[in-house]
Structure 1
Amino acid sequence: MKPTNWISRNVSRLLPAVSAEQKEAPALDKKAQTAIKSGANAERTVDADKRPRSTHVRLKATLGQKDEALSPRVLRRILQELHAIIDPKVSEVEGGRRAQAIAAWYAGATPEHRRDLWLLMSEQFVADPLKVKAAQVQFAAAVGTPEEAVAEVNYRRATVSPRRRVLQRFSVYPGGIEFLVNLRAEMQPSLKQDKRLMALDVEMEYMFSTWFDVGFLDLRRISWDSPASLIEKLIQYEAVHDIKSWADVKNRLDSDRRCYGFFHPRLPGVPLIFVEVALVDEMAGAITPLLDEQAAHADLSRATTAIFYSISNTQTGLRGVSFGDSLIKRVVETLKEEFPKLRIFATLSPIPGFRAWLGKHVGPLIEALNEREKLALGRAVGCEPPGPTDFLAAVDTPLTLTEKSAVRQMLLRCAAHYLGQALVDGKPVDPVARFHLGNGARVERLNWAGDPSGKGLKQSYGLMVNYLYDLRRLDKHRRQLAQGKIPVSKAVEALFIKPT
């Protein structure tokens, strides 16, 4: 039997059986059959091309594919250099020197080459699965016995990946921690598209949570007398209210203001997070007066209130590492020492997700109004009964709405619902609310036209909110939030839309 006949016969056994209807179907001409086969083969080829090869496959290959940055040969060489960093026969200092050499290569590498390094670190430095499984079995068997503690230690050691040791060696040389923080920041946009990088990202988040523990951070005041390079960092990283000029930043650092940041010894010139504070005699309801460069200085002898009006994280690479809670606590303690008359500590915060959220949820909120409220709203928007489109059109120019306007009142009620009742997975929907409420604050007051800037109107129709840090009730508010109830003031609660 010819080899071709043998192959045809055996392959035919793997094909699905042909039904009677298929047998009776008219035969296709040769051109049609060729076209179908070509299309099927092309589709399979496209599907295969869409799936990127893992570094495990690429390291064993001879040739690279056209969409791969590093050739298999170069990939193997870099992997050897990464393994050399954690060679047990070399000291930490030598390992750090080798890590520094890779960082130097990385500095001149293309984005595609850098991505291949991330993949190597993520896929090639995993814990030994056999050792992990064996240690897990031993630990499970030892639970409740005198050997439990030892078995737990062995299990924990088995689950530690070599990737962690690689990261530790990078931290040895000067500039190594900054290199890793910047590397993770650069990697963030790629995480959604390539889940293979997740192992490296999570490992780095774990390491950074240890290295950047608040116990290792210094709280420093940033003033107009600080180095110009540091003040430039404020301008660069301000994320809430853009700093427009040197006069603007000088106003934010004036005598009636305070600015504090957390600093790490290995990144001494860069604040990891900073907060801007205005010292005033009442709770502020609008950002414009606070940013007014021509406004007179507040009388510090009469200051009773500290308004936190901007908190900015500066390092994307430290995403997931929390500083805010500790920063606010430390700043409050520092301010109380300097100004004993301070009694109120509150924020003046944006509501960044409100406008987008309202566009999706306004319909049910309108339906929850009683008939009298619907009638008043319908008359105000010029359509009875009022619909979501009508309301959103009427509220699109919020600064023109009068205080007694039913549209304005409805917008405030919607904002109260968003901040005080909307939850996802037991947490507030709004990211800023999630931060402050998680720290023990409560939703204190909504402020109409608090931020009339283009950004403020785009985010929240110009609304701003005060979160109050009542130092005696922080723990109570946290417990309340953990039970699925957002702490709010009576004034905000009065705005809630109660279903009829």
Structure 2
Amino acid sequence: MGWISKLIDSVSERGREIWQQESHDHPAFPDTLADACRDLLSRQGDAVALAIAKEILQRYRSASEAEKLAFFHFLQMLQPDFNQISRLSHACAELNSPESYQAFCTALSGGRKALFELLNVPGVGTASLVSLREDLLKAMRVQPELKVVDLDLQSTLQSWFNRGFLEFRSISWETPAYILEKLIEYEAVHEIQDWDELKRRLEVDRDCFAFFHPALPGDPLIFVQVAYTQGISGDVAPFLNKDTPIEEGPSADSAIFYSISNCQKGLKGISFGNFLIKQVVQEILKQRPAIRQFSTLSPMPALTLALGKGQIDEEALTAIAGKKTELLKQQYAVDSLTELLLEKANLLERNDEQTAAWLEEVGLYYLAQVKKGTEPFDPVARFHLSNGASIYRINPFANTRPYGLESSAGLMVNYIYELDQVEINHEHFKQNGTIAIHRYNNKKNKIKRIENVRT
């Protein structure tokens, strides 16, 4: 790619010279980013347009928060010509010709979308626009009217980051250090404390896989960490403890996906995880033929949020979970389930089978019954269930680290990917909102599959 970069740089530099000659009376950069963007949109020649685009990106990187916000408001006003689109739409319907359709598509991709395409300068443009979207998402928290800008930017990035451009890589201790540093930085589920902890997560009984994009070659988009175990594990502590003995024997029959981290905040809402999991499964089947089960050990990151927002019907849950809710409220002197799980989760007795069974009911009720629209309230549940997984087992006290207690009262869940059921589960979930659930029978020490439970 070196000679291409040099070629682009030379074209850009020549374009800058032409640009400055054209505007000898005003040799400085236009007063605002908005003015430069208007100039860019009016250009026909590639060389000058490339020079202006690079200048805009550089100027944006050094802009103040106020300047960036003003730029976002300019983008908000940079709408396509809706009157023209309406006329061309009618012409398309009447003429039904390639020419009318081409004119309609050109008008529809005008405004902001045309600007984003022009700013995608080879080498730096894609990364710059991903960073710009991260800033935009922050601004939208207080100025939601900027959502119209994000609709165009997200759809543009989605086309650039489609599956065909993604590069699948296995990460090992031999991977370049600058990429390993990114894993430590981006781990979003279970923080990696130091290099020794990272090294343990890359030993022979573990794996790590990631997706990369040619425009961000040294920066992973998403990565998944896998542990190989005998049976499906319901406790995350051994995976996070760097002193856990290394299992080198052939006894492992299960692959446990215990951490999936999206790395680029500017790509929020652009899903790579479903592709990554499917590719990881295929890679594991090829490299480790003894593996027969594929499961996650996942958090319930919005459980306490749902409690705090009153999303969980305590009366309905009490009816399902029996008298244990009231007994625990009396035992810990609290008035509600919300107080019990938000304030006392770290005090619940881990060796009490009744408490564990009660927590399983709480977790299952939350995952299957508490909704955001028509889908589960929990974002991790939405992700795995929509990809064809089923709920295998709720695990009380599976993550008793402070962040695990704070976000999900220590609960974790195994979602299982049964290769002969994935597509069926996916279709049922998408079409009917049904969820495949396995119920654990403590007395018989078995897990029974319940087919397609409508929730």
1:459 — aligned with what? Answer: 407
**TM-score (normalizing by structure 2):** 0.84
CA distance in 1, matches of 2:162, 2:136: 22
Q: Map of 1:411-430 to 2, 5 A cutoff? A: 411-430=359-378
2:425 counterpart of 1:471: no
2:157 counterpart of 1:202: no
CA distance in 1, matches of 2:449, 2:335: 20
Q: List per-residue Cα deviations over 1:50-93 (Å, max 9, x = no partner).
A: xxxxxxxxxxxxxxxxxxxxxxxx987543321222334211x4
2:40 — aligned with what? Answer: 85
Question: Which is greater in Rg?
Answer: 1
1:345 — aligned with what? Answer: 294
Secondary structure of 2:80's counterpart equals coil
Structure 1: gaps spanning 5 or more residues? 1-73
The 3 A distance-change label for structure 1 pair 380 and 127 is closer
CA distance in 1, matches of 2:192, 2:222: 16
2:252 counterpart of 1:303: yes
Q: Map of 1:155-304 to 2, 5 A cutoff? A: 155-304=104-253
1:102 — aligned with what? Answer: 56
1:136 — aligned with what? Answer: 89
Please tell me whether the aligned partners of residues 413 and 495 of structure 1 are also in contact (alpha carbons under 8 angstroms): no
Q: List per-residue Cα deviations over 1:292-333 (Å, max 9, x = no partner).
A: 212221135222111110000111111121100000111111
Please tell me whether the aligned partners of residues 381 and 394 of structure 1 are also in contact (alpha carbons under 8 angstroms): no
Q: Sequence identity of aligned pairs in percent? A: 31
Please tell me whether the aligned partners of residues 345 and 410 of structure 2 are also in contact (alpha carbons under 8 angstroms): no
CA distance in 1, matches of 2:398, 2:134: 33
CA distance in 2, matches of 1:393, 1:312: 26
CA distance in 1, matches of 2:197, 2:148: 42
The 3 A distance-change label for structure 1 pair 241 and 135 is same
Q: List per-residue Cα deviations over 1:411-454 (Å, max 9, x = no partner).
A: 32111111123222221110111111111111101112110101
**TM-score (normalizing by structure 1):** 0.76
Q: Map of 1:352-431 to 2, 5 A cutoff? A: 352-359=301-308, 360=310, 361-369=312-320, 373-374=322-323, 377-382=325-330, 388=336, 392=340, 396-398=344-346, 400-401=348-349, 403-404=351-352, 406-431=354-379
For residue 365 of structure 1, report the CA deviation from its aligned partner: 2.6
For residue 272 of structure 1, report the CA deviation from its aligned partner: 0.5
The 3 A distance-change label for structure 1 pair 115 and 283 is same
CA distance in 1, matches of 2:416, 2:317: 29
For residue 358 of structure 1, report the CA deviation from its aligned partner: 3.4
Q: List per-residue Cα deviations over 1:3-50 (Å, max 9, x = no partner).
A: xxxxxxxxxxxxxxxxxxxxxxxxxxxxxxxxxxxxxxxxxxxxxxxx
Please tell me whether the aligned partners of residues 342 and 406 of structure 2 are also in contact (alpha carbons under 8 angstroms): no
Q: List per-residue Cα deviations over 1:142-179 (Å, max 9, x = no partner).
A: 5xxxx266544443332222322211122123211111
2:397 counterpart of 1:434: no
CA distance in 1, matches of 2:285, 2:110: 45
Which amino acid counterpart does residue 442 of structure 1 have in structure 2? Answer: S
Which amino acid counterpart does residue 486 of structure 1 have in structure 2? Answer: I
1:7 — aligned with what? Answer: none
Which amino acid counterpart does residue 419 of structure 2 have in structure 1? Answer: L
Task: Between 203-212 and 159-168, report the one with greater CA deviation.
Answer: 159-168
For residue 225 of structure 1, report the CA deviation from its aligned partner: 1.0
